[in-house]
Amino acid sequence: MSIDEPFENYATQYDAWYDSERGKIVYENEKRCLKRIINDCKGKVLEVGVGTGRFAVIAEEAFGVDVARAPLRIAKSRGIKVIQAKAEELPFRDKAFCCVMFIVTLCFVKKPLLALSEANRVLKDKGKIIIGDVFLDSEWGRFYEQKKREGHVFYRFAKFYSFEDFRKIVNSAGLRIKRVFGSLKKSPFEEPSPEEPEAVSYEVSSYGFLCVELTK
């Protein structure tokens, strides 16, 4: 089974999680975190691994790419301009976007360094790349890593990174970390509740979800 097949076959079920009692709270917490970085981006925004478009809808002018067609159809219904494409081969001209987002996507990309290099290529000179993801440093990261080992329909294809390994990939792509915000401070085994994102300096392990702003 290829990495796109679960998202192709279970796109509706995947999308429905965001409307579940638990999923809705987690999703809103993650969106608040993302908004702390994306709100000042006025222009075209690309989400790589857009899925069903739950995060791209935050942008005023959203574009999305994904390898699976089924979630793209749902994203399109949300008003997002979509193209089927790989993160490592973006079908756009240089310097086309003011922002490129990877929201829980980099962990599914086979060649993350190439994906970030491609994002850098299509990014305007003063643009930003936003990575929203779960890292192994946190309890949430270890929780999802366990799901991967157990053969979870989606996470078995993921490769979760420590924040230090992620930093090395970022540096190799010629990018730098400018700001980090965190959310999901509660354990994945607790009932979620609304949270306000916090600026993060060193204690990345305290947050289940991090939004990282990268610049050239």
| Per-residue pLDDT tens listing for the chain (216 residues) | 566 787 888 899 999 999 999 999 999 999 999 999 998 888 999 999 999 999 999 999 999 999 999 999 999 999 999 999 999 999 999 999 999 999 999 999 999 999 999 999 999 999 999 999 999 999 999 999 999 999 999 999 999 999 999 999 999 999 999 999 999 999 999 999 999 999 998 889 999 999 999 998
pLDDT at 199: 97
Longest dimension (CA), the chain: 45
Find, among 29, 82, 31, 23, the residue nearest to 52 by Cα. Answer: 82
pLDDT at 5: 81
Strands 176-183 and 198-199, how do they pair?
antiparallel
* Residues comprising the chain, all counted: 216
pLDDT at 10: 84
Q: One-letter amino acid identity for 74?
A: I
